Amino acid sequence: MSTPMFEKIALIGIGLIGSSLARVICRERLAGHIAIATRSAETLKRAEELKLGDAYTTDARGAVRGADLVIVSVPVGASGAVAEEIAPALKKGVILTDVGSTKTSVIAQMQPFVPEGVHFIPGHPLAGTEKSGPDAGFAELFENRWCIFTPLEDTDPDALEKLSEFWRRCGCNIDTMDAQHHDMTLAIVSHLPHIIAYSIVGTADDLETVTKSKVIKYSASGFRDFTRLAASDPTMWRDVCLHNRDAILEMLGRFSEDLASLQRAIRWSEADKLFGLFTRTRAIRRSIIEAGQDIDMPDFGRQAIGRPQAAQPQQCKAPGVCLVPSSGAAP
């Protein structure tokens, strides 16, 4: 059997992202040993039942001891506290990375605690679902998705290449950019759509003239697609809003102006303007499909491709050995 990429990988946080990583690390045999740490005894027990790793603890500091790769997968607002806790046990030469949806804030929180000789490389896999917790993960989550690194000025190129190769083996394509650019980009492609969805679903919920049962009954007319985004984890999205505030406010400002312009076009029956906008946006949908970032099926193909809700656990009975193959379904 070939030597795994890392002798020991410590996963701090074992929700959707952490548990998907555990599954793909196991499937691809990327680690000799997977140590799992999570805050609550309940989540830890579930991770153990799913056999996601080789060792389980609520002591994050203990988990990272001797690891050559540490991946922090917790809500972005908790990154600083986690870095402070694990820092004294990080060994020289270890790669420390995260998967947080915001980068400037995560760097500001974590970097002050990173000891000399530790390669801290902030990262963000653009892959997810509206589900959370260890049952929600699946090994295929990262397949053909982008993983963005926001390296620091002194990031070691060899460490960056090794981490890039790790994510490539998890299925990702790799990109690098600076943290501010990442945060601005993600504000438009991810954060704003989620905020709009939360807002629309909240508005529908508040409407007194339409009963809730009617909203749900006729939801397939468009509302349903927003509810999927609006079902995303409240803790994660509270933290994203608080930790990418400036970029989100900037994008919300632009959005409000464009919405006002659309409102005006409807009020004044500006047919050409409406038709022009709707034609332009339809072309964007086509380019997303052409780029392989979604498939051209009704309901965005989600029902049809039958993404596993509770993916088959890949049992790491012996270090790095998966006993149950993955389901092979696309995310």
- Residues forming contacts to ligand NAP in the complex (CB under 6 A) are 13-18, 38-40, 43, 73-76, 78, 82, 99-101, 124-125, 127-129, 132-133, 233, 236
* Minimal distance, residue 169 CB to ligand NAP, in Å: 18
* Minimal distance, residue 308 CB to ligand NAP, in Å: 16
- List all residues 6 or more positions away from 98 whose beta carbon is below 8 Å from its beta carbon: 71, 72, 73, 79, 106, 110, 122, 123, 124
Sheet of strand 123-125: strand arrangement: 123-125, 146-149, 173-176
Nearer to ligand NAP, 58 or 211 (CB): 58
- List all residues 6 or more positions away from 99 whose beta carbon is below 8 Å from its beta carbon: 17, 21, 71, 72, 73, 123, 124, 125
Nearer to ligand NAP, 76 or 172 (CB): 76
Q: Does residue 69 contact residue 6 with C-beta atoms inside 8 Å?
A: yes
Nearer to ligand NAP, 50 or 258 (CB): 50
Nearer to ligand NAP, 7 or 143 (CB): 143
Q: What's the CA gap between 96 and 105, in Å, rounded?
A: 16
| Residue in 28, 36, 23 with CA at minimum distance from that of residue 5 | 28
Nearer to ligand NAP, 4 or 146 (CB): 146
* Minimal distance, residue 118 CB to ligand NAP, in Å: 19
User: Residue 327 has which token pair?
Assistant: 């389901």
Helices and strands, counts by H and E, the chain: 14, 11
* Minimal distance, residue 246 CB to ligand NAP, in Å: 17
* Minimal distance, residue 326 CB to ligand NAP, in Å: 18
DSSP 219: G
Nearer to ligand NAP, 14 or 201 (CB): 14
| AA identity, residue 104 | T
* Minimal distance, residue 239 CB to ligand NAP, in Å: 7
